[in-house]
Protein backbone atom coordinates (compact mmCIF):
# COMPACT_ATOMS: atom_id res chain seq x y z
CA UNK A 1 0.00 0.00 0.00
CA UNK A 2 1.32 3.52 -0.78
CA UNK A 3 2.46 5.55 2.20
CA UNK A 4 0.40 8.49 3.45
CA UNK A 5 2.61 11.12 1.80
CA UNK A 6 2.28 9.41 -1.59
CA UNK A 7 -1.50 9.17 -1.22
CA UNK A 8 -1.80 12.84 -0.29
CA UNK A 9 0.52 13.94 -3.11
CA UNK A 10 -1.38 11.79 -5.60
CA UNK A 11 -4.75 13.10 -4.42
CA UNK A 12 -3.57 16.71 -4.74
CA UNK A 13 -2.17 16.07 -8.23
CA UNK A 14 -5.38 14.28 -9.23
CA UNK A 15 -7.57 17.16 -8.07
CA UNK A 16 -5.32 19.64 -9.90
CA UNK A 17 -5.83 17.68 -13.12
CA UNK A 18 -9.51 16.99 -12.64
CA UNK A 19 -10.52 20.60 -12.03
CA UNK A 20 -9.19 21.52 -15.50
CA UNK A 21 -11.96 21.15 -18.08
CA UNK A 22 -11.22 18.37 -20.53
CA UNK A 23 -13.31 16.16 -22.86
CA UNK A 24 -15.13 14.44 -19.97
CA UNK A 25 -15.95 17.75 -18.31
CA UNK A 26 -17.21 19.17 -21.60
CA UNK A 27 -19.49 16.15 -21.96
CA UNK A 28 -20.77 16.60 -18.38
CA UNK A 29 -21.36 20.31 -18.93
CA UNK A 30 -23.15 19.64 -22.22
CA UNK A 31 -25.44 17.08 -20.62
CA UNK A 32 -26.09 19.25 -17.57
CA UNK A 33 -26.76 22.39 -19.59
CA UNK A 34 -28.90 20.63 -22.19
CA UNK A 35 -30.77 18.11 -20.04
CA UNK A 36 -30.52 19.15 -16.40
CA UNK A 37 -28.93 18.09 -13.13
CA UNK A 38 -30.05 14.45 -12.91
CA UNK A 39 -28.87 13.67 -16.44
CA UNK A 40 -25.55 15.37 -15.75
CA UNK A 41 -24.99 13.35 -12.57
CA UNK A 42 -25.90 10.11 -14.37
CA UNK A 43 -23.26 10.97 -16.98
CA UNK A 44 -20.71 11.50 -14.18
CA UNK A 45 -21.35 8.02 -12.75
CA UNK A 46 -20.95 6.43 -16.17
CA UNK A 47 -17.76 8.33 -16.94
CA UNK A 48 -16.11 7.45 -13.63
CA UNK A 49 -16.98 3.76 -13.91
CA UNK A 50 -15.48 3.86 -17.39
CA UNK A 51 -12.35 5.40 -15.89
CA UNK A 52 -12.21 2.61 -13.31
CA UNK A 53 -12.00 0.07 -16.14
CA UNK A 54 -8.73 1.72 -17.10
CA UNK A 55 -7.59 1.62 -13.48
CA UNK A 56 -8.02 -2.16 -13.50
CA UNK A 57 -6.19 -2.45 -16.82
CA UNK A 58 -3.35 -0.21 -15.60
CA UNK A 59 -3.07 -2.26 -12.41
CA UNK A 60 -2.41 -5.42 -14.39
CA UNK A 61 -0.12 -3.73 -16.91
CA UNK A 62 1.94 -1.76 -14.42
CA UNK A 63 2.33 -4.77 -12.18
CA UNK A 64 3.79 -6.76 -15.05
CA UNK A 65 6.09 -3.91 -16.12
CA UNK A 66 7.36 -3.16 -12.62
CA UNK A 67 8.02 -6.84 -12.01
CA UNK A 68 10.20 -7.02 -15.13
CA UNK A 69 13.02 -4.56 -14.42
CA UNK A 70 13.91 -1.03 -13.42
CA UNK A 71 14.83 -0.32 -17.05
CA UNK A 72 11.32 -1.25 -18.16
CA UNK A 73 9.95 1.01 -15.46
CA UNK A 74 12.10 3.90 -16.73
CA UNK A 75 10.96 3.31 -20.32
CA UNK A 76 7.32 3.66 -19.25
CA UNK A 77 8.24 6.67 -17.14
CA UNK A 78 9.87 8.63 -19.97
CA UNK A 79 7.30 7.60 -22.55
CA UNK A 80 4.64 8.77 -20.13
CA UNK A 81 6.40 12.07 -19.56
CA UNK A 82 6.64 12.60 -23.33
CA UNK A 83 2.96 11.81 -23.71
CA UNK A 84 1.96 14.36 -21.06
CA UNK A 85 4.08 17.07 -22.72
CA UNK A 86 2.61 16.20 -26.13
CA UNK A 87 -0.94 16.44 -24.79
CA UNK A 88 -0.08 19.78 -23.23
CA UNK A 89 1.31 21.18 -26.48
CA UNK A 90 -1.66 19.92 -28.47
CA UNK A 91 -4.03 21.46 -25.94
CA UNK A 92 -2.26 24.82 -26.24
CA UNK A 93 -2.52 24.83 -30.03
CA UNK A 94 -6.04 23.44 -30.47
CA UNK A 95 -9.24 25.43 -30.15
CA UNK A 96 -11.48 24.18 -27.30
CA UNK A 97 -14.80 22.52 -28.06
CA UNK A 98 -17.81 24.78 -27.85
CA UNK A 99 -20.51 24.09 -25.29
CA UNK A 100 -23.72 23.05 -27.02
CA UNK A 101 -27.21 23.66 -25.68
CA UNK A 102 -28.95 22.02 -28.63
CA UNK A 103 -28.12 18.40 -27.80
CA UNK A 104 -31.06 16.04 -27.85
CA UNK A 105 -32.60 15.01 -24.53
CA UNK A 106 -31.83 11.58 -23.07
CA UNK A 107 -32.76 9.50 -20.06
CA UNK A 108 -30.52 8.95 -17.03
CA UNK A 109 -29.74 5.39 -18.13
CA UNK A 110 -28.78 6.63 -21.60
CA UNK A 111 -26.52 9.30 -20.14
CA UNK A 112 -24.91 6.73 -17.82
CA UNK A 113 -24.37 4.26 -20.65
CA UNK A 114 -22.97 6.90 -22.99
CA UNK A 115 -20.60 8.23 -20.33
CA UNK A 116 -19.38 4.71 -19.54
CA UNK A 117 -18.72 3.94 -23.20
CA UNK A 118 -17.00 7.28 -23.81
CA UNK A 119 -14.37 6.73 -21.11
CA UNK A 120 -14.04 2.95 -21.43
CA UNK A 121 -13.26 3.17 -25.14
CA UNK A 122 -10.97 6.19 -24.84
CA UNK A 123 -7.36 4.96 -25.35
CA UNK A 124 -6.01 8.31 -24.10
CA UNK A 125 -7.20 7.45 -20.59
CA UNK A 126 -5.24 4.18 -20.66
CA UNK A 127 -2.12 6.02 -21.79
CA UNK A 128 -2.73 8.67 -19.14
CA UNK A 129 -2.80 6.15 -16.31
CA UNK A 130 0.29 4.39 -17.61
CA UNK A 131 2.09 7.75 -17.58
CA UNK A 132 0.63 9.19 -14.37
CA UNK A 133 0.50 6.30 -11.90
CA UNK A 134 4.19 5.28 -12.09
CA UNK A 135 5.24 8.67 -10.71
CA UNK A 136 3.66 7.74 -7.36
CA UNK A 137 4.55 4.06 -7.12
CA UNK A 138 7.55 2.84 -5.14
CA UNK A 139 9.08 -0.08 -7.11
CA UNK A 140 10.69 -1.35 -3.90
CA UNK A 141 7.32 -2.13 -2.32
CA UNK A 142 6.31 -5.69 -3.12
CA UNK A 143 2.65 -5.13 -3.94
CA UNK A 144 2.88 -2.86 -6.98
CA UNK A 145 -0.53 -4.00 -8.20
CA UNK A 146 -2.13 -3.01 -4.90
CA UNK A 147 -0.47 0.41 -5.08
CA UNK A 148 -1.82 0.94 -8.60
CA UNK A 149 -5.32 -0.14 -7.62
CA UNK A 150 -5.43 2.07 -4.53
CA UNK A 151 -4.05 5.13 -6.33
CA UNK A 152 -6.37 4.59 -9.28
CA UNK A 153 -9.33 4.28 -6.94
CA UNK A 154 -8.34 7.55 -5.28
CA UNK A 155 -8.30 9.19 -8.71
CA UNK A 156 -11.78 7.85 -9.53
CA UNK A 157 -13.12 9.00 -6.15
CA UNK A 158 -11.71 12.48 -6.74
CA UNK A 159 -13.28 12.36 -10.20
CA UNK A 160 -16.70 11.61 -8.73
CA UNK A 161 -16.44 14.65 -6.47
CA UNK A 162 -14.97 17.13 -8.98
CA UNK A 163 -17.13 16.06 -11.92
CA UNK A 164 -20.17 16.00 -9.66
CA UNK A 165 -19.50 19.61 -8.73
CA UNK A 166 -19.24 20.47 -12.44
CA UNK A 167 -22.59 18.81 -13.10
CA UNK A 168 -24.30 20.60 -10.21
CA UNK A 169 -22.77 23.95 -11.13
CA UNK A 170 -23.41 23.67 -14.88
CA UNK A 171 -27.06 22.77 -14.39
CA UNK A 172 -27.49 25.83 -12.14
CA UNK A 173 -25.55 28.32 -14.26
CA UNK A 174 -26.58 27.56 -17.82
CA UNK A 175 -26.63 31.10 -19.17
CA UNK A 176 -23.34 32.08 -17.54
CA UNK A 177 -21.50 29.05 -18.95
CA UNK A 178 -22.83 29.51 -22.47
CA UNK A 179 -22.07 33.23 -22.68
CA UNK A 180 -18.87 33.41 -20.62
CA UNK A 181 -15.32 33.26 -21.97
CA UNK A 182 -13.47 31.86 -18.94
CA UNK A 183 -14.13 28.15 -19.63
CA UNK A 184 -12.56 28.07 -23.14
CA UNK A 185 -9.50 29.93 -21.80
CA UNK A 186 -9.04 27.42 -18.99
CA UNK A 187 -9.60 24.51 -21.38
CA UNK A 188 -6.84 25.64 -23.70
CA UNK A 189 -4.15 27.58 -21.87
CA UNK A 190 -4.35 26.54 -18.22
CA UNK A 191 -4.82 22.87 -19.08
CA UNK A 192 -2.03 22.93 -21.67
CA UNK A 193 0.51 24.49 -19.30
CA UNK A 194 -0.38 22.08 -16.47
CA UNK A 195 0.13 19.01 -18.68
CA UNK A 196 3.49 20.30 -19.93
CA UNK A 197 4.66 20.96 -16.37
CA UNK A 198 3.50 17.53 -15.23
CA UNK A 199 5.41 15.92 -18.08
CA UNK A 200 8.57 17.84 -17.22
CA UNK A 201 8.26 16.90 -13.55
CA UNK A 202 7.73 13.24 -14.48
CA UNK A 203 10.86 13.20 -16.66
CA UNK A 204 13.00 14.75 -13.93
CA UNK A 205 11.71 12.58 -11.08
CA UNK A 206 14.03 9.85 -9.84
CA UNK A 207 13.01 6.24 -9.44
CA UNK A 208 13.61 4.91 -5.91
pLDDT tens-digit profile of 51-110? 998 888 888 776 566 556 667 667 766 776 787 788 789 878 887 666 665 555 678 999
Distance in angstroms (rounded) separating the CA atoms of residues 55 and 159? 13
pLDDT tens-digit profile of 151-195? 889 999 999 999 999 999 988 887 676 666 666 776 678 778 877
Number of folded domains that form the chain: 1
Domain that holds residue 182: 4-204
- Buried-exposed string 29-55: b where 16+ CB fall within 10 A, e elsewhere: bbbbbbbbeebbbbbbbbbbbbbbebb
pLDDT tens-digit profile of 90-104? 878 887 666 665 555
- Buried-exposed string 95-130: b where 16+ CB fall within 10 A, e elsewhere: ebeebeeeeeebebebbbebbbebbbebeebbbbbb
Amino acid sequence: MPDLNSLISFAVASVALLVIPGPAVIYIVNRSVADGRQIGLAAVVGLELGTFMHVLAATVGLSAILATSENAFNVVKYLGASYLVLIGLRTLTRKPEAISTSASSMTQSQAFRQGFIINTLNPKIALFFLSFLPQFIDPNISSNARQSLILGSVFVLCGFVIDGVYALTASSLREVLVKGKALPFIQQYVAGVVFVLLGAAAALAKVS
